Structure 1
Amino acid sequence: MAYRSFTDPVLSRRTLLRGTAMLGAGAALSSLPFGRAAFAHAGHWPNVMSTVEEYVSSGKVANMVAIMGFGQNNADVIARGTLAKGGATAADGDSLYRIYSQTKPITGVAAMMLVEDGKLGLDQPIADFIPAFGEMMVQKEYDGSIGPENLEPAKTQITARMLMTHTAGLGYGIIQRGPIQKAYEEKGLIPGQVSRIPIPGMGRGTPTDSLEKFADGIASMPLVYQPGTKWSYSVGLDVLGRVIEVASGMPFDKFLHERLFKPCGMESTWFRVPESEVSRFTTNYGVVNGTLFPIDPAASSIYLDEPGFPFGGAGLVSSPNDYDRFLRMLVGKGMIDGNRVMGEAAVKMATSNLLPEGADLKGTWVEGQLFGAGGRVQGTAFGWGGAAGTAGFIDMASGLRAANYTQYMPSDAYPIQRGFPDIVMKDLALRAEG
């Protein structure tokens, strides 16, 4: 297999931080005649198990943890490898992983709680919460000049729906090129972090020091598309974090803790890893020409520092067991362990198509599919992936929840992230035949 380096002009930004877990298998899940009780232990996932073992034993990754379950049943966990190459501590369901863009569905679902509360409307202009978005300008030429000669007024207001579905016309420092990308970096409009180590092809800008400053800074920049017209991966979920903050009257990270993490029993999900938990934190690796090198060692990780602000699009660290509790709540239609976290209607809406009518998906990562509250939708499946190779999804019809965790960049250096749902489907099909 050929590998491209971090300095590749396509990979260096566009693929290093994005999450693109595919859900091609999701649409068929509800039609399989398998019995959920049949999957009582990890041995019932032979294809998943062999994949995990192959990736670790071949040295492609230091560790891999796959976790699958149905409904509210306990999950099956398949774990191999150690927290770092050459280390002694085995990875397991409680190990900590940088989930990057798997943060996006969490932020989207959190916003749906406020829709349910009546504090936020899906089609309400976000300028009601962040006035700086009241009069936006749009680039005439995509990624062209940001001077007045290349700008025109936005034809409609940005809404919460557009933020959730990447159709607001907002840019992204890991996607854009040219003057707008440079301006994002200079203004600290950087909604993520990778390492303290200089990485070729990656900018070294410092994020601004508050979510309010970030959102207002994004509002001062031109849009790259007219709102509601085109799917384009963006900082929409990061800006949505500020909308949540204003609409709830509570800091975004505190809102997540009080309304989502605590009720779901998620005790290992943070924007900053506590010093007391470093012993179960994984090391993140870069893949260059098939070789791994540590880009964010756990003991000196950038995630041990307080981030400039809580990155609602790519900032969380979580454990497989913790994120599984989030997925359990979703397939439980808002319930987990007998506790109601959010309403059934809000969950159904979050995990179904929310794209604005007429939004163009042609030529995008989600062409031929749909998009919900921060995650891809196909059939009754919903989920997304992270920049360091993680992937997680659910199927609302069957109650399946499945996720895979490892740490390497860029995420498309190996096919596991995109292929994980299909591997899970192979095991479900085998069981159905049996």
Structure 2
Amino acid sequence: MQSVRVEGRPDETAPARRPPDELYLLDPELLADPAGGYGRVREQGPVVRAWLTDEQPVWLVTRYDDVRDGLRDPRFVNSPAAIPGFTGPDPRRPLVDMLNLPAEVLDYFMISALDIDPPDHTRMRGAVARSFTGRRMQALRPRIEQVVEELLAALPAHAENGAADLVERFAYPLATTVVCELVGIPEAVRPLFRQWGDDIVTMDPDRLGTSSPALIEAVHDLLRQRRERPADDMLTALAEATGSGRYPISEKEAVTMTLNVVMAGYENAAQLIINAVAALVTHPEQLELLRTDRALLPGAVEEFIRWCGPDIMVRMRIAAEDTELHGTPIRQGDAVQFILVSANHDPRRYPDAHRLDLTRRQADQSEGHLGFGGGIHYCLGASISRLECETALRGLLDRYPGLAMAVAPEDLPRIAIPGAAPRYTGLPLLV
């Protein structure tokens, strides 16, 4: 990976394009090993300049304490609309423009609850909050256990040469079923979400130009149906909130919230399960701990989120005012990226941070890690992701205690994904 200069912000005469010796966030080497790559960046300095695209610089904040505090710092906002009187360029646009989306689709991308600030963020999140209460999550446990059992029982029927793929036959069907039932997405529409999710991950403009309008129209149709026939699901809550109630939202915001929740709900949960299984088969001593003591599972899930969580960074933040971090001047309108993967592997916070340790627990029993972000944008589906991962691992260990892969761990196929941990495309389990 290319070296990184640690320095103050260049003056106004600095070139608009990335210098060859500064870090590019889409560098293939960085995408292939985010923990190692961002770990090296973390040790070069607390604030480092990098480039999101060849034209868009961004400040990287990589150490645990700084990331934790920054995610709660009102000086860093999610949208330039939250900066009074600011008329500069939107630093989010270069990356979004790479997708070459139709204008009518782009509008939905730019009003996501992930990219806005209070009071609009409070309003949009409030519209769906009752669907994610602790009581509602725990009520889902029997259904999740049922889906896990059904999928695991069906694995031998899908086996080829004695092996069944946990990615397509277990993790994704589980995560998709759970979040779609919570939201109220019928089975006929679920393939549209999977296609759209794959297109988002691959950042394919042509495919997104086709899948996005179709999915958006499908969600509009579902909202119209819920107004006529309410149900006990998130779509009904959104349909009821459009234009009225304590947290009124627009029709377009309701669609966007649906897209966000379903996409994040199945993609992140599935990838957490997949990464956890891959971690276990590559760390047999940790696998043996769980085989002999299921009581370790809740803490083990927290360690998987820290050590191999699916998100390596949060959505971009924007400096709302001229400020300074560790002596580095950051100007109003600058892009700032808080890096979760480097914070979660920071040796200043965790002894032997590079080591997977399923017995690792915080002294105060808190989650400790930043795998789900922090502050007001803390992951809405964190509880359900935890519950799915714990239930999935328990079911796997109970039904297939050997938990052996059909290929050597080092041969498990992976692809690099911008902004996320490398994605396993197959986990062939011997069944």
The two structures share one fold, judged by TM-score above 0.5: no
Q: Larger helix proportion, structure 1 or 2?
A: 2
Max Rg structure:
2
Name the TM-score, length of structure 2 as normaliser.
0.28
* TM-score, normalisation: structure 1: 0.28
Larger relative contact order, structure 1 or 2 (CA cutoff 8 Å, min sep 6): 1
